[in-house]
Chain A
Amino acid sequence: MTPKIVITALSLLILQAGLGPLLTVGYARPSFLLPFAVYVGLTSGPLWGTVTGFILGLAVDAIGGLPLGMSALALCIAGFFSAKIADGVPLRLWWPWTTLVLLFASVLEILRLLLLARANELPFLSLLLWSGIPSALWTTALAVLWFLSPLHKSEGATR
């Protein structure tokens, strides 16, 4: 399981860096990494969810302009609590998958925009409306698409 997580995480990180801008709509940019942290939490437990989220978040912070540790905090929370909240629940589309991705995508955006608003003396609610909520919804939509796609079904078959 570990090499698979590592390879997928690295691929997603590179995809996020390289193709993220292509999927940007308005001020909404999806995160590929947050659904992955949630997925690892749900399928491999809170330990792996935390570690995967933490390392991926650290990598994103390192290559982006955000303060080091911000995404790491949000993604390790997502990985850990998704496993804890849905402990023993089979992985299904609306609950826990979509609900948890939407919940933690919102947490991630709120954390990011709080920092951005504070650093730039901008109205937080306006940023949340224009960028935070659309980004969280965009991330969730992609996560739903992935869940319904053959990619996830083949993943399920191998497990």
Chain B
Amino acid sequence: MSVRNRRSGGSLEWLIFIVCAAVSVVLLLTSPKPGARALKDTASDVVGYAASPLHAVRRIFSIWSDFDILQEHALALSKENSKLRDALIENDRLRASLEYRSRSDFTTIPASVISAVGPALGGQFRLDRGRVSGVELNAAVITPLGLVGKTVEVTDNTALVQTLIGNSYGVAVMLERTRMRGILRWTGPDRFTLSGLPQGVDIKSGDLVLTSGYGTVFPKGIRVGVVTDESSVLSIYGESWRVQPFVDFRTVEDVFVVTGTNWPDPYAGQNDLPIEAKP
């Protein structure tokens, strides 16, 4: 009798396991479909809400180092501000004389990171702001230091951000000094490369890399990083240069989500390639 029970119990265990494994595989194959998306959205809202108080705990660990960093930044920025004020006045005067059209600033929504589930390498985290707060899909996410990534999932109260780490998209960028445009990609742990530049390009270590405004996601002029090596390397994307981003994506806690994507296209009339769009 006991042997029979154990056998029937064993069959049930196998049956349940096979069903669970089969459901997992089916879900894997159908995860982009609307039903699975709705389930993901609901679960994200619930767990995001439940995990949000833990954000305060995490902040305690970083608040002192943040304070020191912010003080240094405040000092540097106050110096830079006075220089930029002069430059702005001069720039306005020159623009007016050349009849350049003015570029409108984009608006932002402040948000905090409430969870980061999954592999650290994936470079994804969830924010405490969603559709209700005005966050849209494919919105650029930035910090005062520079570009972080873009939103790849948006629910009513949360948003999932894909950083430049482990990205499946290239960012259209340009060199500040020479205005040469290229594409920035993550090509492995601690490795970002700038490719798509013409041969013989004038590039120096320390050149500032900004978003170029090509495409539909990232507005022009957001700081991304600096070129760290003048010599090019060969990658699967051809000749490319190493870039060090300004943002440490693993320690991001507070960000700004860019909204109002109706900024004037700085390259209107030119061939506009949706480079940031996921293929």
Contact = CB atoms under 8 A, between A and B. Distances in A.
B195 interface: no
A121 B57 CA distance: 37
B20 A72 contact: yes
A69 B25 contact: yes
Given A20-B115, A69-B26, A62 B189 contact: no
Interface in A2-23: 13-22
A141 interface: no
B88 interface: no
Main secondary structure, interface of B, reads helix
**A-B CB proximity, top 10 nearest:** A18-B54, A69-B27, A62-B43, A17-B115, A73-B24, A64-B117, A64-B118, A29-B120, A69-B28, A131-B121
**Residue of B31, B39, B51, B125 contacting most chain A CB atoms (<10 Å):** B51
A21 B125 contact: yes
Contacts of B120: 21, 24, 26-29, 131, 135
Most buried by B among A47, A51, A65: A65
Given A20-B117, A62-B40, 10 more contacts: A14-B51, A17-B48, A27-B189, A46-B13, A54-B23, A61-B40, A63-B40, A65-B122, A66-B118, A80-B17
Given A46-B17, A127-B189, A76 B48 contact: no
Contacts of A126: 188-189
A150 to B, nearest CB: 21
Interface in B44-71: 44, 47-48, 50-55, 57-58, 61
Interface in A57-100: 57-70, 72-73, 76-77, 80
Contacts of A120: 166-168, 186
A65 B160 contact: yes
A50 B10 CA distance: 13
Interface of A: 13-22, 24, 26-29, 45-47, 50-51, 53-54, 57-70, 72-73, 76-77, 80, 109, 112-113, 116, 119-123, 126-127, 130-131, 135
A29 to B, nearest CB: 4
Given A47-B13, A69-B23, A62 B115 contact: no
Interface string B153-185: 100000010100011100000000000000000
Contacts of A20: 115-117
B16 A72 contact: no
Interface string B187-199: 1110000000000
B161 to A, nearest CB: 9
A65 B153 contact: yes
B149 to A, nearest CB: 11
Contacts of A73: 21, 24-25, 28
6 contacts: A46-B17, A57-B24, A61-B40, A62-B43, A67-B27, A72-B24
B121 A127 contact: yes
Contacts of A50: 13, 16-17, 20
A16 B189 contact: no
Contacts of A109: 119
B44 to A, nearest CB: 5
Given A13-B47, A27-B120, A67 B28 contact: yes
Contacts of A24: 116, 120, 250
A130 B47 contact: no
Contacts of A63: 40, 43-44, 47-48, 115, 117, 126
Contact of B20 (A18, A19, A76): A76
Given A24-B250, A63-B115, A54 B24 contact: yes
A26 B44 CA distance: 25
Contacts of A68: 27-28, 31, 36, 39-40
Contact of A112 (B20, B23, B113, B118): B118
